[in-house]
Amino acid sequence: MTKPVELPQGTLEMLILKAVSLGPLHGYGILLRIQQISGERLEIRQGSFYTAIYRLERRGWIKGEWGESENSRRARFYSLTAAGTRQLKAETAKWTDMAAVVAGILGRKANEI
């Protein structure tokens, strides 16, 4: 079994935006989608998760509408807004750039400096 990975500060919101960009889901469904996509490697605390969901909604990056879940319960379904799409694109670019810089540093050998 592979060891779970801890999320760096500020990453959870980007992952929520990505999960919602794949299609509307209720809160717990978003959490499950992130865990599924990560190959069950990410452990996300529900308290942090729902706080991030509410923050994203307040910022206008996702919107929530009430509906019925697959088990016939009332649930809030979230979808990405146009502002959320722009934010996801910006965050993805920043993350990709940072990952490339860090990978470049970690890949250096003493004789390459």
The structural domains of the chain, ordered by start, are: 11-108 (1.10.10.10)
Q: What is the pLDDT of residues 72-88, one digit of tens each?
A: 889 999 999 999 999 99
pLDDT of residue 1: 61
The sheet with strand 74-80 has its strands ordered as 25-26, 74-80, 62-68
pLDDT of residue 35: 92
State how far the Cα of 43 lies from the Cα of 54, in Å rounded to an integer: 19
Numbers of helices and strands, H then E, in the chain: 4, 3
The type of residue at 109 is: K
CB 7 within 8 A of CB 95: no
pTM: 0.87
State how far the Cα of 106 lies from the Cα of 85, in Å rounded to an integer: 31
